[in-house]
Structure 1
């Protein structure tokens, strides 16, 4: 279940390391992923937490996990999209740093993997408006998506 969803993009991130530590650019105004700046946000979740699903009708997201590890699940809900109804999975985190562009209409959520918290930094093209939130919730176990969050050991 790792199909590519139309419009989803990734950008590998490069660490520049030396004996003092490292430096890494995350997002620049001239990046192809970047449209219009709306807001930057930070959230931390504990191991095993599932934050899923929600989608937006007007807002695009760009996700980055600078610490911890996450299983990110996307589900295309855009009628008319060539990947309508498809689900894809991305494994993101400090050991696999990249940006994930999530277009409006694609439901998204994540589960924290491992034994330590995960931190997500995300950028949106619109600022959050509590009077008219562009956020539509779907249960993490919604049968229409049908994603199994269970980790299986072989």
Structure 2
């Protein structure tokens, strides 16, 4: 696992009315050291949204609907895991929260035949005049990630 990345399994409390689950609490500073913003986005089947990274903020991702293949690549010069790639399968089939530290490039591909919705929390608010978002192409040769589904 890339240094500083954290995973929290979501516990669903189910009964005949539906379910309840906590995503993040104010006493979980190990997941989100500071609250900056909460955001919500939907992507359509097959879409790849990759890659980008931040210099100032951490991201905490959750996919409540649909499923996604999430890819992380450690860009940090001082990290023990520099150059490491991690893959996580998140969404309805695997409800987890994923903490992505600043300096770790990240992106995802929507899996299956329905859209995927992501809710994410950041440690900084978005500043349109000075965005903390650096882009890397989805097919970057340094990261060299194969986004194709492997038939097994």
- Could you say which TM-score interval applies, normalised by the shorter chain? over 0.9
Aligned-residue CA RMSD (Å): 0.5
SS at 2:126's partner residue?
coil
User: Aligned residue for 1:67?
Assistant: 65
After superposing on structure 2, the runs of 4+ consecutive aligned residues of structure 1 that deviate more than 6 Å are none
Given candidates 46, 54, 57, the residue that maps to 2:52 is 54
Are the counterparts in 2 of residues 72 and 89 from structure 1 also a CA contact under 8 Å? Answer: yes
Given candidates 118, 137, 140, the residue that maps to 2:138 is 140
Correspondence list, 1:7-26, <5 A? 7-26=4-23
Are the counterparts in 1 of residues 2 and 81 from structure 2 also a CA contact under 8 Å? Answer: yes
Are the counterparts in 2 of residues 28 and 34 from structure 1 also a CA contact under 8 Å? Answer: no
**What is the TM-score when the length of structure 1 is the normalising length?**
0.97
Give 1:120 shift: 0.2
**What is the TM-score when the length of structure 2 is the normalising length?**
0.98
User: Aligned residue for 2:93?
Assistant: 95
How many pairs does the alignment contain? 151
Give 1:95 shift: 1.7
Unaligned runs of at least 5 residues, structure 2: none
Give 1:34 shift: 1.9
Counterpart-to-counterpart distance in 2, 1:10 and 1:119: 18
Unaligned runs of at least 5 residues, structure 1: none
SS at 2:63's partner residue?
strand
